[in-house]
Amino acid sequence: MLNEKNILITGCCGFIGSYLTMRILKEYNGVHIVGIDDMNAYYDVSLKKYRLDKILSLNKDFTFIKGDISGRELLDKVFSKDRFDIVVNLAAQAGVRYSLEDPDSYIRSNIIGFFNLLEEMRAHPVEHFIYASSSSVYGGNEKIPFSTQDRVDHPVSLYAATKKSDELMAYTYCHLFKIKSTGLRFFTVYGPAGRPDMAYFSFTNKLLKGEKIKIFNHGHCKRDFTYVDDIVEGIVRIMDQGPKQDYNLYNIGNDHPEDLMNFVYTLGRCLKENGLLEEDFDLDGHMELTDMQPGDVPVTYADTAPLKKDYGFKPDTPLAAGLDRFCKWYKEYYGKDSG
């Protein structure tokens, strides 16, 4: 049970981290959460502050530390001060395309930061280490749905390579030092207060300004869009029930890939229904069909049978329902006149 646990959550001001932190603080008794985030400016920092304010406004047993997990000194202090039962690592440099622009930040946060956490847990044992991996490790995998049993030796971006490296390092530390871990390969997570660098958010920003949106691979892409509450439900169940074996890996995705064009039309409909776009807005006239981007993959499709079998859950929020919640939040956050 999660009640009374001492928990470290890295990336607590990030999209997924903030939802997870709030969910645990609201639902479980006697938990103490230490949250670390460096509040970097990869995207609008005010969004990170907004999420932090929401966590702090719960007035629960939560300690925030602004800091970078790639610095060992900070982590030494954090792990010496508190004994953690569970560590959840969600801090990372995310995003596939940005890994072509600023590869250093991926090595710093995703490799060195991850390694630092493993070293701390070697010195200060925990019951369970849970960390975010990504569907991007599947690269150009053609076998669908994607299973954690599939070989994933061909990452097509540095981001994917860092996530695969995390899984390998977690395996080694489990083997050598008995650190029980569960890696979670998330599939395109979306929702209110999400990440502005992701398509549903950046498309919304552009369409509302009357700008054109770029549809990569001429729309011939499929993505397994997963609503953030479903991701959090998966993480909480895994935290609550504990690891099934010493080393574990699961997909958390919707196992219902959506055609990119269908996703764009659904988003357009939700934006109109929420009064963010005029009813007669010409969506087709605001699309520019272009080639595939380096590092991108044509399809993502999660096999969630193992998650369902072991934890009795699989994501199922329909895309239209999730995008509607995003649009409602967007309208409230950016103001009624955002449309």
Ligand X SMILES: NC(=O)c1ccc[n+]([C@@H]2O[C@H](COP(=O)([O-])OP(=O)(O)OC[C@H]3O[C@@H](n4cnc5c(N)ncnc54)[C@H](O)[C@@H]3O)[C@@H](O)[C@H]2O)c1
Q: Which residues are catalytic?
A: 159
Nearer to ligand X among residue 198 and residue 283 (C-beta): 198
Q: At what angle do helices 15-27 and 45-56 cross, to 10 degrees?
A: 0
Pick from 6, 186, 168, 23: nearest CA to 90: 186
Work out whether 181 is an interface residue with ligand X (CB under 6 A).
no
Work out whether 17 is an interface residue with ligand X (CB under 6 A).
yes
Work out whether 117 is an interface residue with ligand X (CB under 6 A).
no
Q: Find the part of the chain contacting ligand X (CB under 6 A) among 36-44, 172-180, 276-284, 302-310.
A: 36-44
Residues numbered 62 to 91 that lie near ligand X (CB under 6 A) are 68-70, 90-91
Among 23, 32, 40, 85, binds ligand X (CB under 6 A): 40
- Residue 151 Cβ vs ligand X, minimum distance, rounded to whole Å: 19
> For 291, which DSSP code?
P
Count of residues that bind ligand X according to CB under 6 A: 29
Amino acid at 80: S
Cβ neighbours of residue 244 under 8 Å, at least 6 residues apart? 310
Check if the beta carbon of residue 130 is closer than 8 Å to that of residue 171. Answer: no
Among 23, 39, 64, 103, binds ligand X (CB under 6 A): 39
Q: Find the part of the chain contacting ligand X (CB under 6 A) among 31-39, 120-128, 255-263, 265-273.
A: 31-39
Check if the beta carbon of residue 224 is closer than 8 Å to that of residue 253. Answer: yes
- Residue 96 Cβ vs ligand X, minimum distance, rounded to whole Å: 9
Give the 3-state secondary structure of residue 1.
coil
Check if the beta carbon of residue 190 is closer than 8 Å to that of residue 319. Answer: no
CA distance 319 to 153: 31
Among 5, 9, 11, 301, binds ligand X (CB under 6 A): 11
Nearer to ligand X among residue 71 and residue 272 (C-beta): 71
Residues in touch with ligand X (CB under 6 A)? 10-11, 13-17, 36-40, 48, 68-70, 90-94, 109, 113, 132, 134, 186, 188-189, 195
